[in-house]
């Protein structure tokens, strides 16, 4: 067994009395004392996450655009201006999800951010697909990444960023990111996140990360662990790789149909033929949100019974700190009708009525489903 890897902020976590766990081969903070309090801070004010375990790649070369147009299900042709970002699945030829990722258009090529646990296989897959093309894939492990999230996140972050960057940072549109300072300096700031709140994801040189982290603490941005990150993303109805989708699941069954660019019809991305065949024969399952407003907690792996229709499964479930009851993401038979069908979750052998709702459950700190 190899020891878990550590991020450039590991000593900062220890100094803040974090509880450290092994996450995808990395020693990461699960909380700093109270997961519930950390969740509430992000919904009400501003918190920050060390996401340096995620992997940043820069893709350049004359064939970079055509390479990405074939590699992922969404279409980088849609990136209409420098800094624009898109979310996509990267699929197997069988139309299953290798990973979900974000791609930014930059003046030098493309920046891609992939998940920590899948980074090695992602890079190997990309290198294999790039053979014979003028494409360079630069793995940027010298960068750290800090996500600052919450209604006051951008305002507080700007207090400790370079003063001359403030206007540009505040002008960033949602799902837009760009380099700041000289490209070789390594700073890249994006208005993206994984919590359902506004905020920034800031990539910066590893050696500068502890100083910046401590500066954020000094202006009232609280360190937040992976525990709260999971409850926040679930309230926001956001997938987690390895739970809500993986290499056995089609994006059409994982609520990712909106990320597939079917037009133009002649763009032959990896997995397209398999997805077209799946659509033709009929998609078997769909993703839904579940709400349990009574006692009990919905958990990953629990069976979902749709009376007279069939069985599904909960892929992510938790107690929602914002709503004060349990919510879940589930995969159920596509014929399930939220208006008429009785849906029950198997809670420790007891079939318990649950309600299907449209996700997200929470946006900007407020309940959003009927």
For residue 302, the model assigns a pLDDT of: 98
- pTM for the whole structure: 0.96
**pLDDT of 1 higher than 90:** no
Give 19's DSSP letter: E
For residue 246, the model assigns a pLDDT of: 98
Distance in angstroms (rounded) separating the CA atoms of residues 252 and 277: 12
**What kind and span of H or E run contains 48?**
strand 47-50
Three-point CA angle 96, 99, 105, nearest 5°: 120
Residues in the chain, overall count: 370
Residue the block writes with tokens 């489903």: 369
Whether 126 contacts 71, CB under 8 Å:
yes
Residue the block writes with tokens 């910046």: 212
DSSP count for the chain of H helices, then E strands: 9, 21
Taking CA atoms, 114 is separated from 54, 121, 155, 175, 253, in Å, by 6, 10, 27, 16, 21
Q: List, for residues 243-295, the tens digit of each pLDDT value.
A: 999 999 999 999 999 999 999 999 999 999 999 999 999 999 999 999 999 99
Taking each helix axis as running N to C, give the angle between helix 226-235 and helix 35-44, from 0 to 180 degrees, rounded to the nearest 10.
50
pLDDT-based confidence at 329, cuts 50/70/90?
A: very high
76 contact partners, CB below 8 Å, separation of at least 6: 65, 68, 69, 86, 103, 105, 110
Whether 198 contacts 181, CB under 8 Å:
no
**What kind and span of H or E run contains 144?**
strand 143-149
User: Where do the H-state alpha helices sit in the chain?
Assistant: 10-15, 35-44, 64-71, 119-130, 153-158, 166-171, 209-218, 226-235, 272-281
**pLDDT of 184 higher than 80:** no
Q: List, for residues 332-346, the tens digit of each pLDDT value.
A: 999 999 899 999 999
Q: List, for residues 88-133, the tens digit of each pLDDT value.
A: 999 999 999 999 999 999 999 999 999 999 999 999 999 999 999 9
Asked, as a colleague might, if the bond just before 360 is cis with ω within 30 of 0, I would say: yes
Distance in angstroms (rounded) separating the CA atoms of residues 297 and 291: 10
């Amino acid at each position: 067994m190899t020891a878990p890897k550590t991020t450039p902020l590991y000593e900062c976590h220890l100094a803040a009395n974090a509880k450290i766990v092994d996450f995808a081969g990395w020693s990461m903070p699960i909380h700093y004392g109270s997961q519930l309090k950390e969740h509430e801070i992000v919904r009400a004010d501003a918190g920050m996450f060390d996401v340096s375990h995620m992997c940043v790649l820069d893709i350049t070369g004359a064939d970079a655009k055509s390479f990405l147009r074939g590699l992922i299900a969404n279409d980088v042709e849609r990136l209409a201006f420098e800094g624009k970002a898109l979310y996509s699945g990267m699929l197997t030829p069988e139309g299953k999800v290798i990973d979900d990722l974000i791609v930014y258009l930059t003046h030098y090529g493309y920046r891609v951010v992939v998940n920590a646990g899948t980074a090695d296989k992602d890079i190997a897959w990309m290198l294999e697909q790039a053979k014979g093309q003028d494409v360079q894939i630069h793995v940027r492990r010298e960068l750290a990444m800090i996500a600052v999230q919450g209604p006051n996140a951008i305002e507080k972050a700007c207090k400790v960023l370079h003063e001359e960057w403030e206007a540009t940072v505040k002008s960033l549109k949602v799902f837009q990111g760009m380099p700041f300072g000289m490209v070789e300096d390594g700073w890249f700031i994006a208005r993206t996140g994984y919590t359902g709140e506004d905020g920034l994801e800031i990539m910066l040189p590893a050696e500068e990360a502890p100083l910046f982290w401590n500066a954020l603490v000094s202006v009232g941005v609280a360190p937040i662990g992976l525990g709260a990150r999971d409850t926040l993303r679930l309230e926001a109805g956001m997938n987690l790789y390895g739970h809500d989708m993986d290499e056995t699941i089609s994006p059409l069954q994982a609520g990712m149909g909106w990320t597939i660019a079917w037009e133009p019809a002649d763009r032959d991305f990896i997995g397209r033929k398999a997805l077209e065949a799946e659509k033709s024969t009929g998609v078997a399952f769909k993703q839904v949100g579940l709400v349990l407003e009574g006692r009990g907690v919905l958990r990953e792996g629990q069976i979902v019974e749709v009376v007279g229709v069939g069985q599904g499964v909960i892929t992510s479930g938790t107690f929602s700190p914002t709503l004060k009851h349990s919510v879940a993401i589930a995969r159920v038979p596509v014929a399930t009708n939220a208006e008429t069908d009785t849906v029950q979750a198997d809670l420790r052998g007891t079939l318990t009525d649950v309600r299907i709702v449209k996700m997200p459950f929470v946006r900007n700190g407020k309940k959003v489903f009927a």
